[in-house]
Structure 1
């Protein structure tokens, strides 16, 4: 009898006690730090609400799978993860410009023009048909401020920082994005990803069928891989297997790297973990342009800083 009782107790120890079901925890909402030489102007902050998502893809070597968690999350059954691609809040998003730390207080206190010359001064002057001398003047500052106000860049002090420079690059590319010929001209649809300018567009037989839009590629040490690929999987309501974060309108093209939408400002943060991030609306529009097996061509290198 004693021997039987001991055997029963030993067997019972192999099974854990039943407990409450595990609850999914939403990813941290910590926001990446600004580049060292820039600071968000005092009084301005990126919009809160949706957790920033800079690591949406699979680890290298992993293949995406239609897991039970993915299906449940898409149906809204996993706590802490929204259901399906979430429509952004109404109204345009402010793009927060980085300014010198010494300028942050000035920008908050006054709407007057900055006295500083930004790193993208010459590019802004050239686009605005000012004398491209790379030096700030009162007339330059007023023109850059008007440009910033028109494109919802804050604070609109006339400082031509990285965000202002990125918007100038986007607008200059609209006329002829493949002028340099880096993206091959094919009879089939080709998604062109320019890491140098942080832009992408779609062309077919030499004609642009999806205008250039801003992207956010991989951060340093986790750069987006260059090369020519084909879209092998599309998921409208995808959740990252590795990071458990939403990847709306995901279109995979290279071992887990994908185009997909994000809800934070596309100009914020150091970058993704390899995916090509787009704004929610751009990712949605791209979803209706590309199809499975379409070509994706990636070249260049993301600028540092």
Structure 2
């Protein structure tokens, strides 16, 4: 039962409350946390040969580099960076196989180039022919695996005499930097004369493709650093938004493409820097194999 003593205690508690005190409002919701900024340009689990310099979406802040900046030449890549080392299956490396029995990611393309039966299946004859080409070109390990290095070398060897034999790059009286996504090659021509290249390159992957069509070199920065990930982009020559020709300090022969830029070796990017000027035209066509 509700006793007289309990009622008295409740009345006393009410009497102690201040009169006219408004009810306390609920605290406002906390503002949303700002988006986190990645602390590294790539996931820690990424193999080193898949690393790119991804500031290909937003155009960089354009300014005139100082004379002191222009005077500094970007550093060379470490010795062996661009060695023709094929990406072969790990189990075949560990067991030291003499001839690979596995079909590589470029099996059909390599078979076609070597005029073998194009079936996408590795045979003893395929391995023998691929291995002979690898040994001729100094590709290691020469075990007949149809990987990206072997395929890229075949494209370069075939294109050296006349990279525009198929007339895919428009001929103009002015310089045109040609970017062939099909063969992963780039060169510069003026009229029908090739004034640079061809050289191997790496274009954008499926989700970050190198944009096709006509472009113009609008900004050059010899010692550019990625504005998103603080990654070096030596001899950068921007032609569309954040996409540029530039050197990378890792292999350009990978099954994974760049984040949109045309990646070159330091030596090739340095020579291209001396050929192209602001205002020169760039033409991109084709489709990167595997994307």
TM-score by length of 1: 0.70
Specify the SS of the correspondent of 1:154. coil
2:91 to 105, 109, 115: 105
Could you say which residue in structure 2 is the equivalent of 1:89? 78
Pair 1:267-2:272 in alignment: no
Matches of 1:170 and 1:225, distance apart in 2: 22
- The one-character-per-residue Cα deviations of 1:3-52 (angstroms, maximum 9, x if unpaired) are xxxxxxxxxxxxxxxxxxxxxx774574646xxxxxxxxxxxx68xxxx6
1:192 to 178, 181, 186: 178
Could you say which residue in structure 1 is the equivalent of 2:11? none
Could you say which residue in structure 1 is the equivalent of 2:200? 214
Matches of 1:243 and 1:142, distance apart in 2: 44
Report which of the two structures shows the higher radius of gyration computed on alpha carbons: 2
- The one-character-per-residue Cα deviations of 1:89-125 (angstroms, maximum 9, x if unpaired) are 23563344344xxx53233222411233445445445
- The one-character-per-residue Cα deviations of 1:52-111 (angstroms, maximum 9, x if unpaired) are 641343533x342349xx98xx69xxxxxxx86220123563344344xxx532332224
Matches of 1:300 and 1:109, distance apart in 2: 38
Contact kept in structure 2, 1:57 and 1:258, CA below 8 Å: no
CA RMSD of aligned residues (A): 3.1
Q: Number of matched residues?
A: 250
Matches of 2:193 and 2:138, distance apart in 1: 30
Matches of 1:298 and 1:255, distance apart in 2: 14
Matches of 1:244 and 1:64, distance apart in 2: 14
Q: 1:31 to 1:279 in 2, by over 3 A?
A: farther
Q: How does 1:186-265 map to 2 (within 5 A)?
A: 186-265=172-251
TM superposition shift of 1:131: 4.5
Contact kept in structure 2, 1:141 and 1:159, CA below 8 Å: yes
Contact kept in structure 2, 1:217 and 1:275, CA below 8 Å: yes
Matches of 2:194 and 2:211, distance apart in 1: 23
TM superposition shift of 1:187: 0.7
Could you say which residue in structure 2 is the equivalent of 1:54? 52
Could you say which residue in structure 1 is the equivalent of 2:61? 64
TM-score by length of 2: 0.73
Contact kept in structure 2, 1:170 and 1:214, CA below 8 Å: yes
Contact kept in structure 2, 1:263 and 1:279, CA below 8 Å: yes
Pair 1:149-2:135 in alignment: yes
Uncovered stretches (5+) of structure 1, i.e. residues with no partner: 1-24, 34-45, 76-82
Matches of 2:267 and 2:206, distance apart in 1: 26
TM superposition shift of 1:260: 0.2
Q: 1:197 to 1:131 in 2, by over 3 A?
A: closer
